Each structure stands twice: as C-alpha cells, then as structure tokens.
Amino acid sequence: MLMLWIGALVLIICISRWVYYWRNPRCNGKLPPGSMGFPLLGETLQFFTPNTTSDIPPFVKERMKRYGPVFKTSLVGRPVIVSADPDLNHFVFLQEGQLFQSWYPDTFTEIFGRQNVGSLHGFMYKYLKNMVLHLFGPESLKKMLPEVEETACRRLQRWSIQETVELKEATAGMIFDLTAKKLISYDQHNASQNLRENFVAFIQGLISFPLDIPGTAYHKCLEGRKNAMKMLKNLLNERRAMPGKSRSDFFDFVLEELQKEGTILTEAIALDLMFVLLFASFETTSLALTLAVKFLSDDASVLKKLREEHEAILQNRENTDSGFTWKEYKSMTYTFQFINETVRLANIVPGIFRKSLRDIQFKGYTIPAGWAVMVCPPAVHLNPAKYQDPLTFNPSRWEGGEINGASKNFMAFGGGMRFCVGTDFTKVQMAVFLHCLVTKYRWEPIKGGNILRTPGLQFPDGYHVRLMEKTRME
C-alpha cells in the first residue's frame, strides 16, 4: 500500500513538473507575455473558434489587449509567438533565410504535401518560384488577357439567364476551369472525373481542427487531397506515355524540367506544386471577388466611381467591341485601389508562419530557436493607428499611396522573398471580371452574404444574386 502511495506521489510530482515547464518554457532571455494553455492542446480550440466579426480575430484581439502586440501561445502542439507588431512582421520577412524560414504546422504539411513550395527553402524555393513566373509573369499574363476576358464575359452571360447565382461557387468554378486549362489542359466536360470536387472537399477542412477520423472536416480534406493527387499522378503518366503530343500548358513545361539531365526537380515536388497552384489560384480569388461584389452592392458611391472608370475605358476605344488591352488594365487606378481595399478587409489569410533558426532578440524579448512565429495580417490591416476607421470600406484611402507590393502595413499577398507570385494573376482576374460586370450588368442581392471566420474567411450561406444585362439606356 505504501508503495502505491509513493508511486502515486511520484506520478503527481512528474505531471506537475511537466505542466509547470509547459506553461513556463525555458528561454535564454525574456519570453513575450502570454499563456501556453493546456498541455499538448495549448490554445488551439480558442484559435479555431468560429466568429462572425470583420474586426481583428477575437483570439488575437483579446490577447493584444492583455499582453500587447507580441505574445506567446501554443497551437496544435507547437509553441508560437504571435505578432501584431508591424516592425516585427517586417523584420521576420526581411530576415527570411537568415534568421527565419518558412514553416507551417504538421497538419498543413500533411494537407499541402511535404515537398510543397511553402515548405522548401533556399535555392529550391527560388527555382520553383521562377518556374511559376513562367506561367504567372507579366509577359504570360499579357497573352492570357483575352482568354480571361472571354471567360468572364461568357460566364456572366450564362449566369444572367439564371434565376439566381451563388457567386462564391460560380466564380470559383470559373477561375478553376481557366486555371486548370492553363496548367494541365483540363476540360471538365471531357474529363472522366471531376477534379474540382476533390478540391471542394479539400477546402472544407483546410482550416479546421486537425482531427483525422472519418466524418471530420479534416479527414475529408485529406481524402480530397489524396484523390486530387491521384488524378494528377495519372495525368503525369499519360503525358509520359505520349511524349510527342504537345499541349503547350504548364504541365508540359514541368515535364521538360523533369526530363532535363541533372535536374533538381523531382516528381513528388512537381505534383505538389501543381496541387498548390490549382488550389491557390481559385479559392482565394473567388473569396475576394465575392466580397468585392458584396461591397459594391452595399455602397452605391463606390459602384458609381468604379463604373465610371470602366465606362471611360470603353469610350476611349476606337472600337468599343475590341478586346481588353494591357494598357487599359494598367490604367485602372481606382480599380486597383478598390482591389487593395477589398483584400485588406477580406483578410483571407489569417496567419503567415515562419520558424526562428536561432535565439533572436527583439524589443527586449527573446524568440527562442525552433519556435514558430505567426505574423497576423488582420491585426496590421485593421490597425486604427494606420487606417482611419479601419472597418469602413473606403478605396479612396489608397489615393496617392503605393498600391503594389507589400509594406509594413499591408501584407494581403505576403511579404519579403515569399511575396505571392500569383498576385498579378489574381489582380488581372479581379479587374477583368469587374470590368465585364459593371459595364454590362446590374445585379441585386437575393440572400446570403454573411461572413464566418474559422479563422479563414467563409460564406456559410453563399452569396446569391440575380444578375441582369444592362439596357442601352442604363
């Protein structure tokens, strides 16, 4: 009996010490304030708690009030420093590859692939980035512009004869079909399987609690990835079996790279790259477009100003039916302000992760080696010290300012050497779609449009609108 009591006491002491060291991590300096939450679980549940606010996520806002703009926590079993400090964010991006490297939780790595572009570093990352610029660089986009316009006009015309259209789903389908065609010559009508269905399952569990058991959103997400990767692998094998048949798409370019003597590209990296590009190109852009139309629906003055800019483009053409030009695209000052303001408030990406490579001192605090740092874009984009009335949609706040690239106070497309290479592709699609929409159509909201963050942006009830072609008098 005595031995049992002694054993129980030792166990209690061990558990107590474990809990103590979990809540008080060792550090060669002073850690930022904050709570590590429960052992192993940390504050993961609080982080994933859904909310309907357009403000800074409650998880971050409450801790900013309590601890300041830099605080520690634990998410999905990892110690994390959360940064809402523009100076620290800028420092993290600036020191990519020196003091920090790109990092995401193991759950994200499982979802996107262990050799996805976000998990690679140094020369390999730069190599893949240059490959992607072959598809999304300015010269390629100039050639792609007529096809983007034709796709947008054709889809809008189709939607206008329907009673209602759910905009998020409709724009996602439009962008996916265009991107999949450019990447892998995919045509849904001639395909034996629906590739996008697997991405829909993937998206539903992308930012969810990482519980991999049947029935959970996370499990469905992994299954969606597995099915999509199988289709891409089959496509790769088909291409290899017919080497002489050129389709002039990105997959052909990737195959050429794979077949080069001494190439550093592997099949696993190539397939993960195709998967990430297919996902990233349509999901975030369709969310931004849906929110953009919602903002236009809610603010007649912004719609009027945007419409005037695009109608002026038509009036300045010798032939009003001629196609959209790159010069016209680059001239749309107010449209770019509108896009910037949309993505500032959308905050589609709730956190950008890096990992410290060694102990780092910043403003009196120590970021220990191996800890994750989560840069929080919403806290920067909604900072009242930088944006007057930050929750108000006001594209004109960008007048006279820099509307391209990233800064300490704007990181909707990331920052540093990992600034999103698809940014121009996103802006082209948004600008061209908005041009076709506001010059040829009017619309009215029917239902939905409410926002949910989990913590990523969602439209749980969609955004249903009735689209009507404008008459000549309008």
The whole-number pLDDT of residue 448 equals: 93
pLDDT at 22 over 70: no
Of residues 156 and 233, which shows the higher confidence score?
Answer: 156
pLDDT at 91 over 90: yes
pLDDT at 255 over 90: no
Q: What is the overall mean pLDDT for the chain?
A: 83
Class of domain 105-348+393-461: mainly alpha
Q: Lowest mean pLDDT: which of 252-266, 356-370, 421-435?
A: 252-266
The whole-number pLDDT of residue 6 equals: 66
Hey, which residues does 441 pair with through a beta bridge?
469
Q: Is 381 exposed, middle or buried (0-12, 13-18, 19+ CB in 10 A)?
A: buried
**Percent of the chain whose predicted confidence (pLDDT) is above 70:** 82
For range 294-315, the mean pLDDT: 95
264: left (phi over 0), alpha (psi -120 to 50) or beta: alpha
pLDDT at 397 over 70: yes
Tokens of 71: 């605080």
Q: Is 237 exposed, middle or buried (0-12, 13-18, 19+ CB in 10 A)?
A: exposed
The whole-number pLDDT of residue 264 equals: 81
Maximum average pLDDT range among 36-45, 171-180, 215-224, 436-445: 436-445
Of residues 28 and 3, which shows the higher confidence score?
Answer: 28
The whole-number pLDDT of residue 389 equals: 95
Of residues 122 and 131, which shows the higher confidence score?
Answer: 131
pLDDT at 289 over 90: yes
Helix (H, G, I), strand (E, B) or coil at 167: helix
The DSSP element (H or E) to which 128 belongs, if any, is helix 122-136
For range 361-387, the mean pLDDT: 93
- Interatomic CA distance for residues 412 and 49, integer angstroms: 22
For range 251-259, the mean pLDDT: 82
Of residues 217 and 122, which shows the higher confidence score?
Answer: 217
Terminal Cα-to-Cα distance of the chain (whole angstroms): 91
Of residues 347 and 405, which shows the higher confidence score?
Answer: 347
CB 451 within 8 A of CB 52: yes
Q: Is 208 exposed, middle or buried (0-12, 13-18, 19+ CB in 10 A)?
A: middle
Which residues have C-beta within 8 Å of that of residue 284, sequence separation ≥ 6?
Answer: 348, 349, 426
For range 204-218, the mean pLDDT: 66
Residue ranges of domains in the chain: 105-348+393-461
Maximum average pLDDT range among 5-9, 102-106, 323-327, 401-405: 323-327
Of residues 316 and 251, which shows the higher confidence score?
Answer: 316
pLDDT at 116 over 60: no
Of residues 15 and 257, which shows the higher confidence score?
Answer: 257
For range 326-355, the mean pLDDT: 93
pLDDT at 426 over 80: yes
Residue 9 pLDDT level (bands cut at 50, 70, 90): low
pLDDT at 115 over 60: no
Eight-state DSSP code of residue 320: T
For range 370-374, the mean pLDDT: 93
Hey, which residues does 100 pair with through a beta bridge?
96, 356
